[in-house]
Structure 1
Amino acid sequence: MARNPERRTALLDAAIEVLADEGARGLTFRAVDARAGVPTGTSSNYFTDRDQMLSQVADRIFVRLTPAPGALDTALLPAPSRELVVELMRWLARRMAAERSCYLGLFELRLEAARRPELQNRFTEVLRTDLDLNIRLHLDSGMPGDADTVRLLYFALTGLLFDHFTVPGLHGERDLDELIETVVTRIVPAS
């Protein structure tokens, strides 16, 4: 296996773009090589098989979607309130929109995980850890609501972003910020 970490990262980023544009079925070594602009056969020097590439792509997506160090601490500085939850959800949605390919790739990988138990196990572990962290942050920061409030926000934002990225005209003239405010107002109890 080749050991150039920068090249591996470039190949994984190219694989994310392929996933976002062509779906999981379009994710081949040849497609990744073409997207990365490297000679045919390069990605097969970095990944033993497609399953290993899928797993490493998932890891790379989670790295790219993780906020910069300190960003979350800064976002949590204002006093806990329903209004702050609205702003945090909008901040999260903007971050996902900035990494649109990652988010679409994540949807594709989640569908692929339904057919691949090892990928499903990995996703379950990572997403459960992330959800548990979000619940702990919400509760520890004194935000209004409980653990189920965070779960409902997670379900709502996941669905909103899925619609936003796949069928943006579904909600007519209502923009994402407005929809987020409606969701938070309905789910999060007043302070």
Structure 2
Amino acid sequence: MARNPERRTALLDAAIQVLADEGARGLTFRAVDARADVPTGTSSNYFRDRDQVLSQVADRIFERLAPEPGDFETALLAGPSRPLVLDLMRQIAQRLAAERTCYLGLFELRLEAVRRPELRTQLTKVLRSDLDANIQGHLQAGMPGDADTVRLLYFALTGLLVDHFTVPGLHGDRDLDDLIETVVTRVVPDM
């Protein structure tokens, strides 16, 4: 297997684009090579099979979606409150909207995980780690609510973003920020 980390990352980014544009069925070594603009056969030098690509794509998506180091700590300087939760939820939505390809790629991975137990295991591990970190951060920061508050925010934002990216007109003239505010106001207790 080839060991150039920058090339591996570029191939994973290309795989994310293929997933977002063509779905999991369109994810082939040839499609990844074409999207990365590398010679045919390059990705097969980096990944033993398609399952390995799918598995590593999940990790790469979360690397790309992660906030900048220190962002959460800086936001907490304002003190825990419902308005801070609203601001953080909007920041998450903005980050995901800026990385639309990653979010759509993640959605495709979720669908593919239904048919691939190994991918389901890997994706569950990655998603659980992210959710657990969010719950832990919320609780340690003294934010309003409990672990279930974070879970409800997660469920709501996941659904809102699926709608936002796939059927943006579904909620009429209500924009994403307005819907997030409604969710936070109804789910997060006031301090």
Q: Identify whether the pair has TM-score above 0.5, normalized to the shorter chain.
A: yes
Indicate if the aligned counterparts of 2:59 and 2:126 stay in contact, CA closer than 8 A: no
Q: For the residues of structure 1 that align with 2:108 and 2:77, how far apart are their CA atoms?
A: 35
Q: Which runs of 5+ in 1 are unaligned?
A: none
Q: For the residues of structure 2 that align with 1:179 and 1:186, how far apart are their CA atoms?
A: 11
Task: State the percentage of identical aligned residues.
Answer: 80
Partner of 2:6: 6
What amino acid is aligned across from residue 11 of structure 2 in structure 1? L
What amino acid is aligned across from residue 104 of structure 2 in structure 1? L
Partner of 1:50: 50
Q: For the residues of structure 2 that align with 1:189 and 1:56, how far apart are their CA atoms?
A: 38
Partner of 2:164: 164
TM-score of the pair, normalised by structure 2: 0.97
SS at match of 2:155: helix
Partner of 2:143: 143
SS at match of 1:127: helix
Deviation per CA, 1:166-186: give whole Å up to 9, x if none: 111111111100000000001
Structure 1 residue 187 corresponds to structure 2 residue 187: yes
Q: For the residues of structure 1 that align with 2:139 and 2:64, how far apart are their CA atoms?
A: 25
What amino acid is aligned across from residue 120 of structure 2 in structure 1? Q
Shift of 1:75: 2.0
Q: Which runs of 5+ in 2 are unaligned?
A: none
Q: For the residues of structure 2 that align with 1:113 and 1:71, how far apart are their CA atoms?
A: 31
Q: For the residues of structure 2 that align with 1:76 and 1:134, how far apart are their CA atoms?
A: 14
TM-score of the pair, normalised by structure 1: 0.97
Q: For the residues of structure 1 that align with 2:76 and 2:108, how far apart are their CA atoms?
A: 31
Partner of 2:78: 78
Give the CA RMSD over aligned residues. 0.9
Aligned length: 191
Shift of 1:132: 1.4
Deviation per CA, 1:12-31: give whole Å up to 9, x if none: 10110000000000001111
